[in-house]
Amino acid sequence: MSEKWNITLKVSRQKEGQTPHFDEYKMEVDPDEYVLDAVERVWAFMDRTLCFRHACHHSTCGACGMRVNDVEKLTCITYIRDVTHNGATLKVEPLRNFPVVSDLAVDMGSLYSRLEQVGARSVLPAPEAEIENPPATWNAADQQYIRLADCIECGLCISACPAAATSTEYLGPAVLAGAQANGLKRNPELLQIVDAEDGVWRCHSAFECTAVCPSFVDPARRIMDLRSQVVKERFRSLFRKA
């Protein structure tokens, strides 16, 4: 028989014209269920007006990002056992730095349009993808393979980034990571976009993006690498003929 916990799910609610507030739902859960299961249970059995985003339930779509007890989590892979305990409260809020559409659902349009702006790719040719133990040289047969990019565009990094909290124009960690994966050598036009006040230089090295990323993109490392690329390109341009 599976273990049962009694928890109070404290959900941030906000509909049009309302100020944000919390509603509490008491429920019995299996601690090995995911946080998203508890949120869905509220919608299914307690309150059909609860609005939230979800789709794949296996950390591929990036839709169910929320703040769970003040930390950004992909709720479909976050075990209830890991974020609360029996008899305790579990707080769920929408991601920060995106406009709230309703309750836990936020408008992530700004992230998607900026990813397009830097030409972030959903799939990469295998030799360009960062993989563990890559071959020293890629043979012709293996070069034909493509690999899904690690970033699932969940927006957790933008929500966790303190620099993103104060500037609407900051490209943000996911977008800069997408630009880094493209590379300035291959896409010189990216230089103007990322070498700007709201590009790589807005990052203040808090590394919160990497800490919350559920997909091991490591945006902070990529931003630092992009900075190096920017400095190298600018240095090279000094010696280039006009």
Cα torsion at 60, 220, 70, 88 (round to 10°)? 70
Cβ–Cβ under 8 Å, residues 189 and 140: no
Report the nearest approach of other proteins to the CB of residue 3 (Å).
27
**Stretch 78-117: interaction string toward other proteins, x if CB under 8 A:** ----------------x-xxxxx-----x-----------
- CA 36/CA 54 separation, integer angstroms: 8
Q: Which of 17, 21, 28, 136 binds other proteins (CB under 8 A)?
A: 17
For residue 168, count CB atoms less than 10 angstroms from its CB and return exposed for 0-12, middle for 13-18, buried for 19 or more: exposed
Q: For residues 228 and 241, what is the distance between their CA atoms, to the nearest angstrom?
A: 22
CB of 212 to other proteins, least distance (A): 8
Question: What residues numbered 158-177 form the site for other proteins, per CB under 8 A?
Answer: 160, 162, 164-168, 170
Q: DSSP code of 119?
A: T
Nearest CA-CA partner of 210 in 138, 158, 137, 142: 158
Give the interface segment with other proteins, choosing from 25-33, 120-128, 132-140, 201-209 (CB under 8 A): 201-209
198 contacts: CB under 8 Å, gap ≥ 6: 167, 169, 170, 171
211, 232, 234, 237: which one contacts other proteins (CB under 8 A)?
Answer: 211
Instruction: Please say which residue, 28 or 132, places its beta carbon nearer to other proteins.
Output: 132
134-163 positions binding other proteins, by CB under 8 A:
160, 162
Q: Hey, what amino acid is at 125?
A: P
**Nearer to other proteins by C-beta: 152 or 220?**
220
* From 3, 4, 6, 20, residue interacting with other proteins (rule: CB under 8 A): 20
Q: Decide: is 131 part of the binding site for other proteins (CB under 8 A).
A: no
Q: Does 44 bind other proteins (CB under 8 A)?
A: no
Residue 192 within binding range of other proteins, rule CB under 8 A: no
Establish if 14 lies at the interface with other proteins (CB under 8 A). yes
Dist CA 173 CA 155 (whole Å): 9
CA angle 112, 199, 175 (to 5 degrees): 25
Residues that bind other proteins (CB under 8 A): 14-18, 20, 67, 69-71, 94, 96-100, 106, 160, 162, 164-168, 170, 204-208, 210-211, 218, 220-221, 224-225, 227-228
